[in-house]
Amino acid sequence: MTEAAISTRPQARRWREFFELLGSMRFAISLLVIICVASVVGTVLPQNQPLNNYIDQFGPFWAEFFDTLSLFNVYNAWWFLVIMAFLVLSTGICLIRNAPGMIRDSRSFREHIREGSWRSFPHRAETSFTTTAETAAQRVAKWLERSGFRVRTVPKDDSVLVAAKAGAGNRWGYIFAHAAIVIICLGGLVDSDLLIRMQIWFGGKQPVFENMLVSEVPPSGRLSVNNPSFRASALIPEGGQTSNAVVLVGEGALVQALPFTLRLEEFSVDYYSTGMPSDFASKVEITDHDTGETFTRTIRVNEPLSYKGVTVYQASFDDGGSTVTALGYSLDGALTEPFSISGIVGDTVPIPGADGETAAALTFTALRPINVENLSEAGAPAPRKLGEHVAAVTGSAARDRSQEFTNVGPSLEYRLVDAAGQAVEFHNYMLPVMLDDFPVYLLGVRPSPAEPFRYMRIPADRDNSLNEFLLLRNALQDDALRAEAARRFAMRNMMHSAREAGPGGFGAAALERGKAIEASARRALDVFAAGGLQGITQFLEGNVPDDELQRAAEVIIRLLTGAMTDLRALAREEAGLAPLSNDPIEWQRDDTWLRLSLAALSDLALYPAPVFFMLSNFEHVEASVFQLDRSPGKGAVYLGCLLLVLGVFAMFYIRERRIWVWLRMGDEGRGRALMAMTSTRRTFDFNREFERLKRQFEQLFGSGDVQSPAQDKGHANNLER
Amino acid sequence: MQITSNDEVWIDSDIEPIRRRFDWTDLAFLLALVIGAAYAMMRADAVMDVYDRAILIGAVPTLAWLAWLWRPLRRLMIALACTAGLALLLYGGNLARADEAFLLRYLLSSQSAIMWMCALFVLATLSYWIGLIARSDTALWLGTALSWGAILAGFTGLLVRWHESHLLGPDIGYIPVSNLYEVIILFALVTALFYLYYEQRYHTRSLGGFVLLIVTAAIGFLLWYTFAREAYQIMPLVPALKSWWMKLHVPANFIGYGTFSLAAMVAFAYLVKSHGNTRSWKKLIPLFVLGVLLVAEPMVFRTEGLSAYWMMYFGVGALLTGGILAARRPLAERLPSLEVLDDIMYKAIAVGFAFFTVATILGALWAAEAWGAYWQWDPKETWALIVWLNYAAWLHMRLVKGLRGAIGAYWALIGLLITGFAFLGVNMFLSGLHSYGEL
């Protein structure tokens, strides 16, 4: 023996041990558990978000740490792929080691089993027969065949062995199920982004990180039309077309050439009667690059289009460059007339300030022609008896909720970035919305996209417009008008008191009181103009003792409301509008209008911009977002799935059983029959079946000591049944 | 049928469903199914595409086969045809009849039937427990009867709900397995149905109380969902769910969830029985903790605080768990043998695993069509994989390593925790493509 041979032996053994370990059950179970745990991590941590989000959430150290472990992209992490590779390897080794033996075994009847080993079977039975061994064997064979077994009769020297088996499919189940795992994993691997990454590592491809036009992307950023596996997306506006799609790789992108041109003719959204979307459909025209052939098709959610190995799915939709015209309403009193501004959704336009320089940049972020909102206000539920509660949920499940959902018309979202770089987002509805039975314009504000919009309500005037509210606002900012309103209010009040007091009531004291009222009203208006209702509260808290606060607040609100009524009339005069009519219904409406206006004016003090924009006109252009896939592994995965299902059902529901019956002639023409049964799984059902077969077996030749032919015949009949 | 905890009784039974003859009654039933399917085909022609039709045709032999495999299903289906058919007649195409026709108002309209199901399941649970504690065969029998009643009511409710959704608008109708409310009903029904199968198969009613506990918990959730959230109202489907795949994917999934839950409850019974003579409370602590965890699971996902309802639910659940453990000795005497429990547990997990495999694959096929990828590690998909791997490991240990006894039972209980998270938690906790039921 040479030294080399000696040294390779332990190594070979180590290899063998390693393979043993890979194919072992405990290794496989450990892998399953590890995959479970890793998968849990991937569902709990949000995946594939920009690193900054994670830094906000976990702090810089942990974000970096998790990132190093690829915890933000678990399912594509190298270590996850390694674990999966081990699973495939482990299953594969297990299969290679066991399958040949299983196939051989499932074909064999194991006729070599000796009669002598009968006693070692836990499930065994015996009986006797009076015919020849061959005849008895025939009867046994027939009985077993009828019981669903495949039978082989083997004559031995002085005896006959009937060997039977059933449920060989169980072993095939094992093979199918385990082969399926390997096939599915390999198919999945082909469809993952591995092939794209290989092209980046070894094919010189370079993802593009900056924004650029598709035509500007260099060849290193383009994937061939023959690329076998990709998952790309494409945004196409109505009337637009593309022959390229974008494959995202990490934070960069590659351009994937398509074998056809995809043109979007029309994108449409259908709605249910309740106003919720029921269908998204894109009518597309496909032009084949090779043949020049053209055809149209409609792609829907759940109805993709497959052409030349590429499947096109309706993924989502977006704005395709709608034109928007908005009216800007200045809030700083500089402009009384609204100014018009237009642009395309996604564009940024500068807003000139009073001094002619750019005061802010306006970006139209979204146009929504249809807004279905739930306008029902959840009030406090009325107390009900138990019976009524139950009655409320019985009957049909079709309680109509549709009235609560209303299409409130178009809305515009925009972002304003001021000179200091501070960005605020706005969401304004074009038309007034009925809230609490009064039409109001909704103006939404949020400081960051992470927060929900908070809406200010501006009541619509008698013409259903914003004009009168804006007049009132401008009047409130005007010193002279405020003074005049306070004077008129005091005057009105004095006249009223004088009428109440009768003749001679208009004395010096009354005049004095009138002056006081005028001063108070003036102050209420001034404080309100400067700080809104919040300002009034602060004023009261600073000037009135606590115990009189309540009463003082009531007084000042009455003063304010009264003075505002006069301010409104003044504003109308200034604008050359006719005085308000005295129709009582209109008056009631005006009361509500004024109350809501007070609240809105007060909120306006906190409005984060000196201007707001209302949608005045738009031309909506939709864009469809498609996902385009080529997944060559799909066939393999589906085949694997089929095998898996077949395998799992075969493993659980086909029980492999074997039966041996040895028949040997003894003395006095009586033969002895020994039966043994076994199964790979000795379950309850197996026990049960054995008991049944044992009973049948024992009665097969009559009940042991058969005396008369008549009895024998009886048993035979019994069998026929 | 005989109620007993005797180990040997099953041997005398000669139930061998595989070899049962196909007699004329089966033929008549098959014919009835064909006629029913043909009627449905004509009536609902406008709303079905070719796949829907294929599923309807495929349902005929499947149902006939199931009914042949387990006869009580045949009676159930005939009764269902009567109740749902009557409801259909009473509606006469007019939803408003639900408030006018007496039978619809109080019995057959979907919500009334579902409320009946809830009541009957709760009563069935009580009957089973009374029967178990008082050793009353009558009460146990009543438990079975009430469970069947609940199943009849529940399936009637779902079928009628299906019809109501079509009456709501020609474009709205869909099979009622689309949201959390509907699938919880399905879950309760499937679990109870499988339990009744094993009850008959193994001639024991003593497990009814245990298995119906989880059904009652589901009912508790359903009632809260109904009263507090008004989730019972039919809402139109989002476009992604408008597919015939739903008819296959969801029911297959809930056979899995149902049987896994059943297995866990049997595992609980197993552990109670195996601790029958345990004197030290220490050894019971893990079981108690697991029980309480399972009770707490539906509450963990509540995001905006806990209402009194859930506090009570938790209190009652924890008390019941403690009570069952305290009464372990008498209960252990009445439960079937450990071998029987172990076998039911294995069978249920095997059925569940097989159907869960099918469901996950169907889900992948559907995802490939609707979202453009058969697998994209969406949280629900991932958790389905976790559940699948967990039970795959359990089955490997059992079939290859011969795992039996307490460890397998504990594992099955932990399996329910994982399944529960995949079922409830993912929808509420983790965002993703599957967020159809929100709280």
pLDDT digits (tens, 9 = 90+) for A116-158: 889 999 999 989 888 888 888 999 999 999 988 999 999 888 8
Say what the pLDDT of residue B12 is. Answer: 35
Contact call for A393 and B115, based on CB within 8 A: yes
Tokens standing for A319? 């704005």
Distances (CA, A) of A676 to A543, A579, B187: 105, 111, 43
Specify the residue for token string 């035509």: A215
Which chain B residues touch A689 with a CB distance below 8 Å? 16
Q: How many residues does chain A have?
A: 721
Which chain B residues touch A302 with a CB distance below 8 Å? 239-240, 242-243, 369-370
pLDDT for residue B269 is more than 90: yes
Which chain B residues touch A645 with a CB distance below 8 Å? 354, 357-358, 361
- Mean pLDDT calculated for residue range A460-483: 87
pLDDT for residue A16 is more than 90: no
Distance from CA of A670 to the nearest CA of B (A): 30
Distance from CA of B312 to the nearest CA of A (A): 18
pLDDT-derived band at B87 (thresholds 50, 70, 90) equals: very high
- Mean pLDDT calculated for residue range B46-53: 91
Say what the pLDDT of residue B16 is. Answer: 46
Say what the pLDDT of residue A721 is. Answer: 29
Which chain A residues touch B343 with a CB distance below 8 Å? 683-684
Q: Is A695 on the interface with B (CB under 8 A)?
A: no
Specify the residue for token string 């390694």: A82
Contact call for A43 and B105, based on CB within 8 A: no
Contact call for A681 and B399, based on CB within 8 A: yes
Of B111, B382, B401, the CB nearest to A397: B111
* Most trustworthy range by pLDDT among A562-571, A600-609, B11-20, B211-220: B211-220
Distances (CA, A) of A542 to A93, A536, A539, A549, A550: 84, 10, 5, 10, 14
Which chain A residues touch B52 with a CB distance below 8 Å? none
Specify the residue for token string 């504690």: B133
What is the Cα–Cα distance from A473 to A487, expressed in whole angstroms? Answer: 19
pLDDT-derived band at B430 (thresholds 50, 70, 90) equals: low
Of B16, B106, B396, the CB nearest to A28: B396
Mean pLDDT of chain A: 84
pLDDT for residue A712 is more than 90: no
Contact call for A688 and B10, based on CB within 8 A: yes
Say what the pLDDT of residue A375 is. Answer: 67
Query: Which has the minimum average pLDDT: A51-55, A160-164, B210-214, B246-250?
Result: A51-55
Which chain B residues touch A173 with a CB distance below 8 Å? none
Over residues B175-205, the pLDDT tens digits come to 999 988 999 999 999 999 999 999 998 899 9
Pair A465, A473: CB distance under 8 Å: no
pLDDT-derived band at B107 (thresholds 50, 70, 90) equals: very high
In the stretch 587-626 of chain A, residues with CB closer than 8 A to chain B read none
Say what the pLDDT of residue B438 is. Answer: 42
Of A304, A397, A627, the CB nearest to B232: A397
Say what the pLDDT of residue A376 is. Answer: 62
Of A36, A46, A148, the CB nearest to B390: A36
Say what the pLDDT of residue A250 is. Answer: 76
Which chain A residues touch B400 with a CB distance below 8 Å? 25
Tell me which chain A residue has its CA closest to the CA of residue B391.
Answer: A32
Pair A374, A405: CB distance under 8 Å: yes
Amino acid at B210: F
Over residues B387-407, the pLDDT tens digits come to 999 999 999 988 888 888 899
Which chain A residues touch B346 with a CB distance below 8 Å? 683
Looking at A105-166, which runs of residues are DSSP E strands?
A: 124-129, 150-155, 159-166
Distance from CA of B322 to the nearest CA of A (A): 30
How many CB atoms neighbour CB A474 within 10 A? 18
Sequence-distant (6+) residues with CB within 8 A of A498 are A505, A506, A510
CA contacts within 13 A on the Cβ side of A244: 15
Of B109, B375, B392, the CB nearest to A395: B109
In the stretch 237-296 of chain A, residues with CB closer than 8 A to chain B read 272-274, 276-280
Sequence-distant (6+) residues with CB within 8 A of A411 are A367, A368, A371, A427, A428, A429, A430, A615
Specify the residue for token string 């199914």: B33
pLDDT-derived band at A21 (thresholds 50, 70, 90) equals: confident
Say what the pLDDT of residue B32 is. Answer: 95
Question: What is the β-pairing status of strands A405-407 and A423-429?
Answer: unpaired
- Mean pLDDT calculated for residue range A611-621: 89
Higher pLDDT, B149 or A354: B149
Over residues A309-367, the pLDDT tens digits come to 899 998 888 888 889 999 888 877 655 678 888 888 888 888 776 665 667 888 898 88
Specify the residue for token string 């738009």: A618
pLDDT-derived band at B431 (thresholds 50, 70, 90) equals: low
What is the Cα–Cα distance from A331 to A223, expressed in whole angstroms? Answer: 53
Mean pLDDT of chain B: 88
Query: Which has the minimum average pLDDT: A117-131, A148-162, A235-249, A530-544?
Result: A530-544
Distances (CA, A) of A384 to A173, A387, A612, B233: 59, 8, 46, 20
Contact call for B353 and A648, based on CB within 8 A: yes
In the stretch 524-583 of chain A, residues with CB closer than 8 A to chain B read none
Contact call for B230 and A393, based on CB within 8 A: yes
SS3 assignment, position A111: coil
Tell me which chain B residue has its CA closest to the CA of residue A315.
Answer: B371
> CA torsion B62→B68→B69→B72, rounded to 10°?
110
Sequence-distant (6+) residues with CB within 8 A of B250 are B177, B178, B183, B186, B359
Pair A463, A577: CB distance under 8 Å: no
Distance from CA of B258 to the nearest CA of A (A): 18
Say what the pLDDT of residue A403 is. Answer: 52
What is the Cα–Cα distance from B335 to B265, expressed in whole angstroms? Answer: 13
Of B234, B238, B368, the CB nearest to A397: B234
- Mean pLDDT calculated for residue range A600-625: 87
pLDDT-derived band at A475 (thresholds 50, 70, 90) equals: confident
Which chain B residues touch A651 with a CB distance below 8 Å? 399
Say what the pLDDT of residue A334 is. Answer: 58
SS3 assignment, position B336: coil
- Mean pLDDT calculated for residue range A202-217: 84
Say what the pLDDT of residue A505 is. Answer: 56
Distances (CA, A) of A631 to A48, A75, A161, B221: 21, 18, 55, 42
Tell me which chain A residue has its CA closest to the CA of residue B233.
Answer: A397
In the stretch 51-80 of chain A, residues with CB closer than 8 A to chain B read 74-75
Q: Is A406 on the interface with B (CB under 8 A)?
A: no
Distance from CA of B233 to the nearest CA of A (A): 5
Residue B80 phi/psi, 5° resolution?
-65, -40
Pair A205, A195: CB distance under 8 Å: no
Which chain B residues touch A43 with a CB distance below 8 Å? 379, 382-383, 426, 430
What's the DSSP call for residue B47?
G
Sequence-distant (6+) residues with CB within 8 A of A181 are A87, A88, A91, A640, A644
Nearest CA to A568 among A534, A596, A537, A543? Answer: A596
- Mean pLDDT calculated for residue range A297-318: 89
Of B105, B233, B389, the CB nearest to A36: B389
Tell me which chain A residue has its CA closest to the CA of residue B182.
Answer: A397
Contact call for A315 and B379, based on CB within 8 A: no
Say what the pLDDT of residue B187 is. Answer: 96
Contact call for B372 and A648, based on CB within 8 A: no
CA dihedral for A109, A115, A118, A123, sign (positive or negative)? positive
